[in-house]
Structure 1
Amino acid sequence: MQTNLIHSLLETPQGQEADDILRSCVHCGFCTATCPTYQILGNELDSPRGRIYLIKQVLEGIPVTDKTRSHLDRCLTCRSCETTCPSGVNYGRLIDIGRELVEKQTTRKLSEQFSRYALRKIIPYPERFKFLLNLGNLFKPVLPAVLKDKIPAVETATEWPEVKHKRKMLILAGCVQQTTNAQTNASTANVLNKLGIELIQENEVKCCGAVSQHLSATDEAIVTIKKNIDAWWHHVNNGIEAIVITASGCGVMVKDYAHLLENDEMYALKAKRVSKLAKDISEIISNEDLQQDETYSTGITVAFHSPCTLQHGLQLNGVVEKILSNAGYKLTSVNDSHLCCGSAGTYSVLQPVISKKLLVNKITNLQKNRPDIIATANIGCQMHLSTKSDKPVKHWIELVESAIC
């Protein structure tokens, strides 16, 4: 694609990166076939190809409108288009750049500004989030159904193993996950303990920074990233094997630290090392001897929802399914498994209509073959699916723990 970016932007690393991405796009349209919003809305401007054209206009100095922002807002950042794209267009990075520029050049309604600010100031802070969650559960009996469904119960977790091992790994606690489903990390610790690995949790690190990053508060995200690197650094220097991530959305973010800080003189090398150490828990388990000469058979049927961040962001399609099969679970087939469930971080809050349509489609496909349990790999998807599912929705590592521990 030919570009003619304004000179002031081409002088910045962000502008140069965007120009390279735009030039890699050949406008073939393959991406439209796997774009969830295009399938629902049928509008070219709500497809990756259309949004790329809109971002190109912004970068070339054409005045930005609220309509441009709306089309960019409706993108799930599921990155299914990246999996489909024959040219390797880094759409996920381009949409971040485009949104940040559009955000600076437009003014949102006060209600939108408040919603986005509140999400940034509540979700990444477990104490604040837990307080509001407890409040919501207290008044749940008198709330309308539309709100009741969105308030998850606060679950307690089993104890972490106290056994010390020579092999050590660090884990990202997570902001939402440690509040609503702390069992996920506890199950991870137990599974790794059986494999002879000690899991360390650094309590200072809560949010990975993704909420701020995807709401165009890049400076805020960078502050969070640097704090996380600082908190982890002594563990990194002490030889941990990996930084384990149990929410695939966080995994994509932490693996991107190197790119986000590549021009920072003080943090570039540290960020690169942290990103290299960051591993989704499925990457860890798949490289270990899970069966240890044992054969497992649970008799339980599972429908696995592969989050967009796992299959498109991390490109780990099929890895979890193999682990679950080896642990003795029978997996059902799921139609349109490449499509987003509609959670997409804060998307279900900011774009509820589209999100609900995607959720209904996803639940229909997941429950079609009557599984006993629905499993997933990301806390956002887990909470979102639970609002509509007739079946229990669990993180897959909890199923592995039940089978082998």
Structure 2
Amino acid sequence: MQTTLSDNARRLPRAEEAESILRTCVHCGFCNATCPTYQLLGDELDGPRGRIYLIKQVLEGHEVTQKTQQHLDRCLSCRNCETTCPSGVDYHNLLDIGRAVVDAAVPRPLGQRLLREGLRNLVPNPGLFKRLVGSGQVFRAWLPDTLQAKLPRSTPQAKPAPRTHHARQVLMLEGCVQPGLSPNTNAAAARVLDRLGISVVAAREAGCCGAVDYHLDAQATGLQRARRNIDAWWPHLESGAEAIVQTASGCGAFVKDYGHLLERDPAYADKAKKVSALARDLVEVLREEPLENLGVHSDQRLAFHCPCTLQHAQKLGGAVEATLIRLGFNLTAVPDSHLCCGSAGTYSITQPVLSRQLRDNKLNALESGQPDVIVTANIGCQSHLDGANRTPVRHWIELVDAALPPPPTGASS
């Protein structure tokens, strides 16, 4: 695509990157065929090709309007278009660049600003979030349906993590909302890893991965969170931790992008590159291990929802399904498994109508094989799908943990 950036755009830190991405696009439109919002709305500007054109106009100096902002806001950042694109357009990075320019030029209405600032202050604070979830459970009957749908169906209880110490060690990102919404997920992962001779080391100083801030008009804050995590993980990596494991694929996709996002930071570029190289989704660790030795047994029928951040961002589509089948689980077929469920981080809150439509379509597909349980690999998807109060939705590792035989006598897990 022929592109001529304006003088102002050429002064942007990522101007060269934006121009390169724009020129990669051949405007073929294959991306629209797999774009969830284009499928719902049928508007060219609510598909990747149209949004790329809007960003091109902005960077070439054309007027920036609230309509431009609205069409970019409606994007789920699911990256389905990247999987489909025959030209390899790096859409998500172009979208980040475009959104930053548009958000700097178009002030948001007060309600939107308050909502986004509230999310940025609440979601990355696991202690506060967990207390609010607990209060919500107490007063659940008096809450509106929209808030009830954001709460777990029952008060979740975390089982203890194993206390054994193995020569092989990994770090694990605790997450922001997962401790409050699904506190047994990381403990279940630690127990399964323990059976395989791998210990989980806690890096207490690490916090939110930064994705929430980065995607809610605060890219600088998001990158600062990334730097703090790198500082927290670095001593453990130097001491021999072999990976940084994520049980939430949304966090994992962002951590794997640290190297790119901080490549112009001389103090962190090299460390960020190493952190991204060592970041692993849980399934990447488990699939390399002798899973047959676990002795897992379950008769439940499972439908797996593969999060967009796992299949399109991390390119791990099919990895969890293959691992579950290898462990002996019975998986049902899921039509249109490439399509987004509508969670997309905070999208279910900032774009509730579109999000619910996508959720209901996804649940219809997931339930078509009549599973006993739906499993997924991202807390956002899990909470969003389970909020419909239909088939129960859990993290896949919890089902694996529940299907483990009792530990040997005297073992801590």
CA contact under 8 A between 1:245 and 1:251: conserved in structure 2? yes
Compute the TM-score of the two structures, normalised by the length of structure 2.
0.96
CA distances 1:349-404 after superposition (whole Å, capped 9, x unpaired): 00000000001101111111110110000000000000114222110111122223
- Supply the AA of the counterpart residue of 1:253: F
- Supply the AA of the counterpart residue of 1:362: K
CA contact under 8 A between 1:342 and 1:354: conserved in structure 2? yes
Write out aligned runs for 1:52-91 (5 A): 52-91=52-91
- Supply the AA of the counterpart residue of 2:343: S
CA contact under 8 A between 1:297 and 1:328: conserved in structure 2? yes
CA distance in 2, matches of 1:384, 1:12: 36
Write out aligned runs for 1:6-405 (5 A): 6-152=6-152, 153-292=154-293, 296-405=296-405
Moved over 6 A (4+): none
Distance change in 2, residues 1:403/1:131 (3 Å)? closer
CA distance in 2, matches of 1:145, 1:101: 36
| Structure 2 unaligned residues grouped into runs of 5+ | 406-413
Q: Give the aligned length.
A: 404
CA distance in 2, matches of 1:146, 1:13: 40
CA distance in 2, matches of 1:11, 1:102: 15
CA distances 1:220-267 after superposition (whole Å, capped 9, x unpaired): 111111111111111011011100010000000000011111011111
CA contact under 8 A between 2:188 and 2:401: conserved in structure 1? yes
- Supply the AA of the counterpart residue of 1:353: V
Tell me the CA shift for residue 179 of structure 1.
Answer: 1.7
CA contact under 8 A between 1:188 and 1:397: conserved in structure 2? yes
- Supply the AA of the counterpart residue of 2:255: V
Q: Secondary structure at the match of 1:375?
A: strand
- Supply the AA of the counterpart residue of 2:172: I
Tell me the CA shift for residue 24 of structure 1.
Answer: 0.5
CA distance in 1, matches of 2:145, 2:59: 44
CA contact under 8 A between 1:327 and 1:404: conserved in structure 2? no
CA distance in 1, matches of 2:213, 2:38: 26
| Structure 1 unaligned residues grouped into runs of 5+ | none
- Percent identity between the two aligned chains: 53
Q: Secondary structure at the match of 2:292?
A: coil
CA distance in 2, matches of 1:57, 1:353: 28
CA distance in 2, matches of 1:154, 1:351: 27
CA contact under 8 A between 1:376 and 1:396: conserved in structure 2? yes
Tell me the CA shift for residue 182 of structure 1.
Answer: 1.6
CA distance in 1, matches of 2:147, 2:246: 30
